């Protein structure tokens, strides 16, 4: 899994569908940070979820689950929440000109909970870190704070064609591998780690996150391939200033990688949608 919003969306959906326990959700969240808190951003969100207002009291992980169950409303026959992965220029699913939209874009992830637009809420996570004086040291997060916003729009989980996503992703894997190979050749004798080793390290981090047993095999395969492409994009982006000699080469490499990020995003949303709907088909 690549972001906490994806983990929370998938596991809370499974819990609400009756195919996962609260402990499963808590275990999934613990992979991202040892502590989680939830706070209402506005009075409407507080009224929809039962969170304290106007006192900004940071409730704990169990309150996070209760908040999402309250916002989800009465059990229906489909997912009552949706994952949003906004990027500048594509903010589908987010209410325009709101703090929720701005914060979601800044984080690149969000969740919308509830199928009743009058009571639905949006959620955005933010990591908290220890203060460290050493600029070269990257500390692990000590907690993850979830802010809950009123949205005025209901959660809609789109049915995406997983077959198309998988086909497009296969082509993206080849393009990403070619780009990484070109960078590896350009690096030559530079004293840096093997790029393919860097990709494998990035992939290892994603494998720490478990998915529900009901997840379709094709969706799991799509997520695995998407993680591979994403890892190559991340590694290649860091190596371009080293492995390429001219601004023209860097521009060409960037133009090759840029559309791959969109392919990864689309494939991940399709896979998450398939996993979520599979929980309600049992």
Residues 139 and 37 in one domain: yes
CA 218 to centroid of chain Cα atoms = 19
Residues 117 and 246 in one domain: no
Residues 135 and 195 in one domain: no
For residue 27, is it within any domain?
A: yes
CB 128 within 8 A of CB 23: no
Q: Which of 191, 196, 94, 226 is nearest to 149 (CA)?
A: 94
CA 196 to centroid of chain Cα atoms = 24
If DSSP codes are grouped into helix, strand and coil, which group holds residue 227? helix
Residues 126 and 200 in one domain: no
For residue 155, is it within any domain?
A: no
Residues 178 and 209 in one domain: yes
Give pTM, 2 decimals: 0.89
Domain boundary among 150, 183, 217: 150
pLDDT for 189 equals 46
Specify whether the backbone of 62 is left (phi greater than 0), alpha (psi in -120 to 50) or beta. Answer: alpha
Residues 45 and 11 in one domain: yes
Cα separations in angstroms, 109 against 4, 105, 125, 159: 9, 7, 8, 19
CB 112 within 8 A of CB 155: yes
pLDDT for 201 equals 84
Residues 106 and 172 in one domain: no
For residue 93, is it within any domain?
A: yes
pLDDT for 75 equals 77
Domain boundary among 129, 150, 171: 150
Residues 72 and 115 in one domain: yes
- What is the domain extent for residue 139? 4-150
Residues 140 and 180 in one domain: no
CB 39 within 8 A of CB 22: no
Locus of tokens 């106007």: 54
Sheet holding 121-129, edge to edge: 36-40, 141-150, 121-129, 110-113, 81-84
**Residue 99 burial (10 A CB sphere; 0-12, 13-18, 19+):** middle
Q: How many domains does the chain have?
A: 2
Token pair of 46, please?
A: 């507080």
For residue 157, is it within any domain?
A: no
For residue 183, is it within any domain?
A: yes
Residues 193 and 249 in one domain: yes
Residues 274 and 136 in one domain: no
Residues 195 and 104 in one domain: no
CA 100 to centroid of chain Cα atoms = 16
pLDDT for 136 equals 67
For residue 156, is it within any domain?
A: no
pLDDT for 177 equals 76
For residue 106, is it within any domain?
A: yes
Beta bridge partners of 129: 141
Spell out the per-residue pLDDT of the chain, length 282, in tens: 999 999 999 999 999 999 999 999 999 999 999 999 999 999 999 999 999 888 777 678 899 999 999 999 987 789 999 999 999 889 988 999 999 999 999 999 999 999 998 899 999 999 999 877 666 667 788 999 999 999 988 888 887 789 898 898 888 878 777 767 766 665 554 555 667 777 888 888 888 899 999 999 999 999 999 998 999 888 877 655 544 555 655 565 566 677 888 999 999 999 999 999 999 996
pLDDT for 212 equals 97
Domain boundary among 150, 175, 209: 150
Cβ neighbours of residue 195 under 8 Å, at least 6 residues apart? 180, 183, 184, 187, 235, 236, 239
């Amino acid at each position: 899994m690549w972001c906490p919003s994806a983990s929370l969306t998938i596991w809370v959906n499974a819990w609400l569908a009756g195919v996962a326990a609260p402990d499963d959700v808590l275990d999934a969240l613990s992979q991202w940070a040892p502590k989680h808190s939830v706070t209402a951003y506005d009075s409407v969100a507080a009224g929809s979820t039962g969170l304290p207002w106007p006192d900004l009291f940071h409730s704990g992980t169990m309150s996070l689950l209760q908040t999402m169950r309250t916002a989800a409303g009465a059990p229906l026959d489909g997912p009552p929440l949706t994952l949003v992965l906004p990027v500048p220029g594509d903010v589908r699913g987010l209410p325009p000109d709101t703090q929720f939209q701005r914060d979601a874009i800044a984080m690149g992830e969000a969740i919308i909970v509830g199928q009743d637009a009058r009571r639905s809420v949006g959620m955005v996570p933010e990591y908290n870190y220890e203060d460290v004086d050493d600029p070269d040291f990257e500390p692990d997060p000590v907690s993850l704070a979830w802010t809950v916003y009123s949205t005025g729009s209901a959660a809609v989980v789109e049915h995406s064609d997983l077959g198309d996503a998988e086909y497009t992703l296969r082509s993206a894997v080849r393009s990403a591998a070619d780009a990484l190979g070109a960078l590896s050749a350009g690096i030559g004798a530079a004293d840096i780690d093997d790029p393919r080793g860097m990709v494998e390290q990035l992939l290892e981090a994603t494998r720490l996150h478990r998915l529900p047993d009901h997840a379709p095999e094709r969706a799991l395969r799509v997520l695995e391939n998407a993680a591979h492409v994403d890892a190559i994009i991340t590694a290649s982006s860091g190596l371009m200033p080293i492995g390429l000699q001219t601004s023209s080469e860097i521009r060409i490499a960037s133009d090759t990688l840029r559309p791959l990020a969109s392919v990864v995003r689309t494939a991940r949303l399709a896979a998450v949608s398939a996993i979520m709907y599979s929980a309600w088909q049992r």
